[in-house]
Structure 1
Amino acid sequence: MSATTIQFGQLPALQLRAPDGAEATITLYGAHLVSWKPAASSGAPGQERLFLSTLSALDGQRAIRGGVPVIFPQFAERGDGPRHGFARTSTWRVVDSGEQDGAAFAVLALGPADLAPQMAAAWPHPFELQLRVSIQKCDLALTLDVRNTGTQPFPFAAALHTYHLVEDVEAVRIDGVQGETLAITDKLDQVFEHIPGPIAFDNGVDQLVLEQQGFTDAVVWNPGAADTAALADMEDEEYRRFVCIEPALLGPQVLEPGGAWRGEYRIRPAVA
């Protein structure tokens, strides 16, 4: 089976396994990708690629710290709703899963009927979100679709807040977001608009390519020592083990009635 229902902490989740051994775990809470292990040469899952805090809540009462949170319909505090929107703290539905061309995939959906009543009242725009997660070999592909199913336009922002697992954040090097190589030596929270092409990500061990379409911007974040110490859901030294490089549409973009937007994100090994 390419998709199996499991429990992750206290959360219902879907575990994907590709024929080549690549694995991923997605919680229905938030359609949150919490684990991704590329295929190893033996056909078994390889090393974990996503950071997940050891103190993260896994009970559906608060957002998960790590993995790939889905950000919609606002980024951070850039709006009147909850920080980073409601998608990451709502329970999604599995609408499809299986294998295609050797890849294992799952599609999860979220609409107004899935929202808590107070959230549906606070954001009264008919909509449908779909997130498609696909894994094969050492590739991860994520596609976020937003549809306006109502009769009035609405503005939105979106991002896939990817926590990349690293051995030492000070060894990280990032190219493609600014004119020179970006290194992380302290707290960093920076928005890069109008990304021209793929991002080259050297995590200190491997070289990866981060490709995005539809998402026009990127955000790079690491809280540093001082801010991490103030976070209740992260150990003091855990900031050393991740960097967030997230594809984003910060706009916000206005979606007309019946309109649709798609954001695509792919992580793959760099080609020598």
Structure 2
Amino acid sequence: MRNSTFGQLPAVTIRAADGAQATVTLYGGHLVSWQTSDGQERLFCSRDSALDGSRAIRGGVPVIFPQFGARGSGMRHGFARVATWQLSASGETDGAAWAQFCLTQSDLPEAIAAAWPYAFTLHLRVAVKACALDLSLSVHNTGEQAFPFSAALHTYFAIDDLGQARIKGLQRVRYSDETPQDALQAEELLQFADKLDRIYYQLPGALALQAGSHTLRMEQQGFTDAVVWNPGAQDAAALPDLAGDEQPRFICIEPALIQPDTLAAGAEWVGRQRIEVSPAGSEPASV
């Protein structure tokens, strides 16, 4: 592990013995880079994103807590992605390099803490080895009052061409989008023409993103749902922190807990995701 910077932001870079590495900014506890041991960058981060702490980073893996989107009275997607986290531990286990980051109520600016009057501790653990990334987000209620929360890891995957991307594992899963009623996905493979914004509920198993020369397999625990998103060309043009040619170069597939859960005093919730990369046409090792 070494201290580094990403733009103007203090960061931590972890590197496994096989060359796999990841960089996390303390601002947002934000994973902004994941390179597999072959040196390939697997995450998208916009070159027009503000990297000075003035606003949330566009790309990487923003931590969504305690609110998803505008589903609540607080700030959009919650405060975790714009708060300053602390590095709490790091090391190497079975060849995997890892670091753990922590956020508590006392780390929040006064105005945000006043709007979220609950005692909590978040831990984010990031581990890399070979072609795998393991993420763990834990929420601990350290106070005496139960609180509701939602959570997600808003992962931006780097791809060559959105039109060629395919997602497997969503067939017959219920989803909601901008239309009034929920639906079941009929297709075995989800494909993209332009804008797509769907919440899939109660995933039955792993997902696989087929993206050109490689496949990413995603397994999650604790997170019950998944969000699949690309803004499409028209909406992307209105985003000031996304360059004009970047919209077809990423897709967001995020493990999520959409419907707020209630965490009792003293209780802890943990959500995990494991991502493995393999050449197209081959199956990643089972988890």
- TM-score bracket for the superposition, by shorter chain length: over 0.9
Match of 1:83 among 59, 65, 76: 76
Per the alignment, in what secondary structure is the counterpart of residue 158 of structure 1? strand
Superposed, which structure 2 residues align to 1:5-84 within 5 Å? 5-40=3-38, 46-84=39-77
Match of 1:246 among 233, 240, 254: 254
Q: Could you tell me which amino acid in structure 1 is paired with residue 194 of structure 2?
A: D
Q: TM-score, normalised by structure 1?
A: 0.96
Q: Which moved more, 1:184-193 or 1:172-181?
A: 172-181
Match of 1:233 among 241, 254, 263: 241
Match of 1:207 in 2: 215
Query: Contact conserved, 1:68 with 1:162, CA < 8 A, in 2?
Result: yes
Query: Are 1:178 and 2:171 counterparts?
Result: yes
Per the alignment, in what secondary structure is the counterpart of residue 145 of structure 1? strand
Query: Are 1:168 and 2:161 counterparts?
Result: yes
Question: Gapped runs of 5+ residues in structure 2?
Answer: 173-186
The offset of 1:218, in angstroms, is 0.2
Q: Summarize deviations over 1:204-225 as a string: whole Å, max 9, x none.
A: 2211210000000000000010
Match of 1:257 in 2: 265
Match of 2:88 in 1: 95
Per the alignment, in what secondary structure is the counterpart of residue 120 of structure 1? helix
The offset of 1:177, in angstroms, is 2.1
Match of 2:274 among 256, 260, 266: 266
The offset of 1:200, in angstroms, is 1.2
Match of 2:206 in 1: 198
2:228 and 2:171 map into 1 onto residues whose CA distance is: 11
Per the alignment, in what secondary structure is the counterpart of residue 78 of structure 1? coil
Q: CA RMSD in A?
A: 0.8
Match of 2:181 in 1: none
Query: Are 1:145 and 2:132 counterparts?
Result: no
The offset of 1:234, in angstroms, is 0.5
Per the alignment, in what secondary structure is the counterpart of residue 87 of structure 2? strand
Query: Are 1:223 and 2:216 counterparts?
Result: no
Question: Gapped runs of 5+ residues in structure 1?
Answer: 41-45
Q: Could you tell me which amino acid in structure 1 is paired with residue 120 of structure 2?
A: F
2:68 and 2:257 map into 1 onto residues whose CA distance is: 9
Q: Could you tell me which amino acid in structure 1 is paired with residue 5 of structure 2?
A: Q
Q: Summarize deviations over 1:215-257 as a string: whole Å, max 9, x none.
A: 0000000001000100000012211100000000011000000
Per the alignment, in what secondary structure is the counterpart of residue 142 of structure 1? strand
Report the count of equivalent residues: 265
Per the alignment, in what secondary structure is the counterpart of residue 31 of structure 2? strand
2:134 and 2:192 map into 1 onto residues whose CA distance is: 26
Query: Contact conserved, 1:212 with 1:263, CA < 8 A, in 2?
Result: yes
Query: Are 1:4 and 2:2 counterparts?
Result: yes
Q: Could you tell me which amino acid in structure 1 is paired with residue 151 of structure 2?
A: A
Q: TM-score, normalised by structure 2?
A: 0.91
Runs of 4+ aligned structure 1 residues displaced above 6 Å come to none
The offset of 1:7, in angstroms, is 1.4
Per the alignment, in what secondary structure is the counterpart of residue 126 of structure 2? strand
Query: Contact conserved, 1:177 with 1:218, CA < 8 A, in 2?
Result: no
Per the alignment, in what secondary structure is the counterpart of residue 163 of structure 2? helix
1:97 and 1:79 map into 2 onto residues whose CA distance is: 34
The offset of 1:18, in angstroms, is 0.3
